A = this chain, B = another copy of it.
Amino acid sequence: MRVSDIIAGFIDDMLNQLGGTAELQRAELATRFNCVPSQINYVISTRFSPEHGYIVESRRGGGGFIRITRVEMEPEKLIMHTVNAIGDEIDINSCSALIANLLQGGAISELQARLMLSATGNNALRPARVEQRDTLRASIFKQMLINTL
């Protein structure tokens, strides 16, 4: 089991227990999970990014902290917001994160999420040149979202 996943799970639990916002201490967490402090940053940037639907604030110095807040929105707004966030191209990671976020926010069902992931995955886009995949992905993704409303 990856340490990063364990840490992510821990943070997730905190968020659930504390109603969507958690304040943690980097060094303390690092000690608890027996890893270097920067791994906490790694976990946050790969799993609690804005694309995943979180806001992260922090403060250094004595009494420093990292605060992670889960953002919630109404389904329709979330979808619109997502459409606007896509732009003309989007890489597969950002795309997956956005879909996971839509699912988690209740804007789409698990089935819809699965279909969206399928249609925007590298397997589906394989026939296209690599340089073009991100553009196509954005187009397809937006089209699906729009027709979901």
**Interface of A toward B, CB cutoff 8 Å:** 1-2, 5, 62-63, 109, 111-112, 114-119, 121, 123-128, 132, 135-136, 138-140, 142-144, 146-148
> Among the listed B62, B119, B143, B148, which residue makes an inter-chain contact with A143, where contact means beta carbons less than 8 Å apart?
B119
For the residues of A in contact with B, the DSSP-based class is helix
Nearest residue (CB) in B for A109 is B111
> Among the listed B115, B128, B146, which residue makes an inter-chain contact with A148, where contact means beta carbons less than 8 Å apart?
B115
Give the complex CA separation of A119 and B95 in angstroms. Answer: 14
- 25 residue pairs bridging A and B, Cβ less than 8 Å apart: A5-B63, A111-B148, A112-B115, A114-B147, A115-B119, A117-B147, A118-B143, A118-B144, A118-B146, A118-B147, A119-B119, A119-B144, A123-B143, A124-B136, A124-B140, A124-B144, A125-B136, A126-B139, A127-B132, A127-B135, A127-B136, A127-B138, A128-B128, A128-B132, A140-B140
Contacts of A140 in B (CB 8 A): 118-119, 124-125, 140
Contact B139 A127 (CB under 8 A): yes
